[in-house]
């Protein structure tokens, strides 16, 4: 077991709880002196294996989510566009992320992830649309045409699929989902517990 390893942060851009987590994970990681490995995945692919259903679509639980996400956002002081967006296909966003991750350069893929989350969940811009993802990338100073070409390369598509499969192999069944030192934590509401686990070296 690694004792000072990174926090692996698995998420789908389409998860509102992953958005909330994304606004908190950097500060948490800084407090416990760990790097964060951002790992977008496709929950739709996960749900095919687990027979899962988006919480927003579940009877009663969907209503709770529509009440709870804004409540959590208010508590955290995090901006949230309402009404909440429906689950959407985050393929373009995930592919752009992994293209940037592999391309390297001056731009951190995590900065792109944060900007995509913000555009979708705080500003209500539909990140299912590749052109909107490209707008966000360009606003960060990335070369729009390079991102567009890159996200359509097989390498980016393969990587998103591989990371999703890797997540499944690690037992990831929802998002956000964290691994640190081999220990799994599911849910934005477990981030405090994860922080305590890291500080205290487990229980």
| Residue closer to its own copies (CB basis): 58 or 144 | 58
CB 133, min distance to its own copies, A? 29
CB 112, min distance to its own copies, A? 28
Phi and psi dihedrals of 69, rounded to 5?
-60, -50
The number of C-alpha atoms within 13 Å of 47 and in the hemisphere containing its C-beta is: 12
CA distance 3 to 78: 31
Q: Using CB under 8 A as the criterion, which residues of the chain lie in contact with its own copies when the complex forms? A: 49-52, 58-61, 63-64, 67-68, 71-72, 74-75, 168, 171-174, 184, 186-187, 189-190, 192-193, 196, 203
Q: How many CB atoms lie within 10 A of CB 153?
A: 15
CB 189, min distance to its own copies, A? 5
CB 20, min distance to its own copies, A? 12
Which residue, 45, 174, 23, 175, is CA-closest to 113?
Answer: 23
| Residue closer to its own copies (CB basis): 130 or 184 | 184
| Residue closer to its own copies (CB basis): 31 or 144 | 31
Give start and end residues of each alpha helix (H) in 41-181: 43-50, 61-76, 91-103, 109-117, 130-139, 144-151, 154-169
Give start and end residues of each alpha helix (H) in 33-108: 43-50, 61-76, 91-103
| Residue closer to its own copies (CB basis): 56 or 113 | 56
| Residue closer to its own copies (CB basis): 75 or 141 | 75
| Residue closer to its own copies (CB basis): 4 or 64 | 64
Could you tell me if 36 and 30 are in contact, meaning their C-beta atoms sit under 8 angstroms apart?
A: no
Q: How many CB atoms lie within 10 A of CB 100?
A: 25
Q: Do strands 7-11 and 177-180 pair parallel, antiparallel, or not at all (unpaired)? A: antiparallel
CB 51, min distance to its own copies, A? 7
Place of tokens 């948490």: 28
CB 87, min distance to its own copies, A? 17
């Amino acid at each position: 077991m690694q004792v000072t390893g990174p926090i692996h942060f698995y998420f789908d851009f389409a998860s509102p709880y992953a958005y909330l987590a994304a606004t908190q994970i950097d500060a948490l990681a800084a407090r416990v002196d760990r790097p964060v490995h951002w790992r977008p995945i496709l929950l739709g692919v996960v749900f095919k294996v687990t027979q899962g259903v988006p919480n927003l679509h579940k009877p009663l639980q969907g209503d709770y989510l529509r009440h709870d996400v804004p409540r959590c956002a208010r508590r955290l002081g995090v901006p949230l566009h309402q009404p909440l967006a429906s689950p959407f296909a985050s393929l373009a966003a995930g592919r752009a992320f992994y293209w940037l991750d592999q391309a390297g350069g001056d731009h951190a893929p995590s900065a792109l992830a944060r900007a995509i989350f913000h555009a979708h969940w705080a500003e209500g811009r539909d990140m299912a649309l590749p052109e909107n993802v490209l707008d966000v990338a360009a606003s960060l100073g990335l070369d729009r045409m390079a991102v567009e070409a890159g996200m359509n390369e097989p390498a980016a598509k393969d990587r998103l699929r591989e990371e999703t499969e890797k997540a499944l192999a690690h037992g990831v069944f929802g998002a956000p989902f964290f691994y640190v030192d081999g220990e799994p934590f599911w849910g934005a509401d477990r981030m405090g517990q994860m922080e305590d686990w890291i500080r205290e070296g487990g229980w």
